[in-house]
Chain A
């Protein structure tokens, strides 16, 4: 039960197809985050889950992006009708929810390539 795990590590898809990316957070971490990192760009916040509360979706770039978190643990990020500009590394992070800085620990990422 080490760190955050993500699957697949790489995904190549054709433009217009839907993709699902999975994240399994660190055991006991109630907060889960999705980011994406495009080539030469910084990390861009997408969505945040905290326990059973409604997720903060303020970073999602379009309505083609959605995410779920089942049972307060595993999360799935879904991108519908993928576009070439969706090509990026999608990173998941998790943290505890107590007081203090709530350090986020990142998974290895999923590299998405849309042809």
Chain B
């Protein structure tokens, strides 16, 4: 059973601070890792993907991947109230279908 685990939250962060979202996965052969944001009642929208160890930065967002620890994280700098949403971690496994395995998501609340 290939699993992706996230803390469901809610994670409450003051406006302007750094929000740190974490995700672990069970399949060591996983290849690609995605962070999606989902507002209530809406479909997921892609924030970032990463497939190499280390950090990847895009604006206020930084994805971090550590394959040895089977751990991927998303940092949001200068958090804004509009960042309040559920953040879904998704993993593409090596071989097999291209379907992603999603975690259940972390509910993030940015407090004004």
Q: Which residues of B contact A58 (CB under 8 A)?
A: 96-97, 99
Given A33-B98, A101-B32, A104-B100, A42:B105 Cβ within 8 A: yes
CB 8 Å contact bits of B28-53 with A (1 = contact, 0 = none): 00011010100000111110010100
Whole-angstrom distance between the alpha carbons of A25 and B31 in the complex? Answer: 24
Q: Which residues of A contact B67 (CB under 8 A)?
A: none
CB 8 Å contact bits of A53-71 with B (1 = contact, 0 = none): 0001011000000000000
Q: Which of A21-44 contact B (CB under 8 A)?
A: 31, 33, 35, 40-44
Query: Is the Cβ of B88 less than 8 Å from the Cβ of A42?
Result: yes
Query: Is the Cβ of B102 less than 8 Å from the Cβ of A43?
Result: yes
Query: Is the Cβ of A103 less than 8 Å from the Cβ of B34?
Result: yes
Query: Is the Cβ of A101 less than 8 Å from the Cβ of B46?
Result: no
Query: Is the Cβ of B99 less than 8 Å from the Cβ of A109?
Result: no
Closest Cβ of chain B to A32, distance in Å, is 10
Q: Which residues of A contact B96 (CB under 8 A)?
A: 56, 58
Closest Cβ of chain A to B110, distance in Å, is 22
Whole-angstrom distance between the alpha carbons of A80 and B75 in the complex? Answer: 43
Total interface residues on A, using CB and 8 Å? 27
Nearest B residue to A50 by beta-carbon distance?
A: B98
Nearest B residue to A105 by beta-carbon distance?
A: B46
Query: Is the Cβ of B104 less than 8 Å from the Cβ of A41?
Result: yes
CB 8 Å contact bits of B1-27 with A (1 = contact, 0 = none): 000100000000000000000000000
Q: Which residues of A contact B103 (CB under 8 A)?
A: 42
Nearest A residue to B103 by beta-carbon distance?
A: A42
Q: Which residues of B contact A50 (CB under 8 A)?
A: 98
Q: Which residues of B contact A106 (CB under 8 A)?
A: 36, 43-45
Q: From B43, B97, B101, B105, give the contact of A56 (CB < 8 A).
A: B97
5 contacts between A and B (CB under 8 A): A44-B102, A59-B97, A59-B99, A104-B100, A106-B43
Residues of A within 8 A of B (CB): 31, 33, 35, 40-48, 50, 56, 58-59, 91, 95, 101-109
Give the 9 A-B CB pairs with smallest separation, nearest first.
A45-B99, A42-B104, A56-B97, A101-B32, A43-B102, A106-B43, A42-B102, A101-B49, A48-B97
